[in-house]
Amino acid sequence: MTKPIYVLNGPNLNRLGTREPAIYGTTTLTEVEALCREAAGIRTIVFRQSNAEFEIVNWIHEAIDHGGAIVINPAGLSFNSIPILDALKMFPGPIVEVHISNIHRRELHYQKSLVSLAATGVICGLGVEGYRAAIGAVAKMIK
């Protein structure tokens, strides 16, 4: 059986649907999870969200031991989390970083993601459809 795809979400993404809808849309995180599960088909998805950096690092460690791929939207931790970067650098499989907004069109402090240094690929600016693209990409990479 194939190892699961870990879909990890960072701070404030639990507020999707109501958080700055002009930037992030009105889709909730529960709806994003359903989209990911649909996109994965028969593949197992481990879908999680936390506002705590240490918890995300622990989930990456879990994925190192049990996962086949990681799709990660580290949200605000993208731009300053060395611990997340270091944990991702240990992961042997594909990693796709997802951002709902186009971080390159945002304020300067949103334009340089440290997480991108460990990512196999980066998807940004496609809204929540970026998750579907990421799931499709990593599913092909771990065949």
Residues annotated as catalytic are 24, 99
Give phi and psi for 19, each to the nearest 5: -80, 115
Say if CB 27 and CB 16 are below 8 A apart: yes
Which H or E element spans position 87? helix 82-89
Handedness of CA 30, 88, 53, 2 (dihedral sign): positive
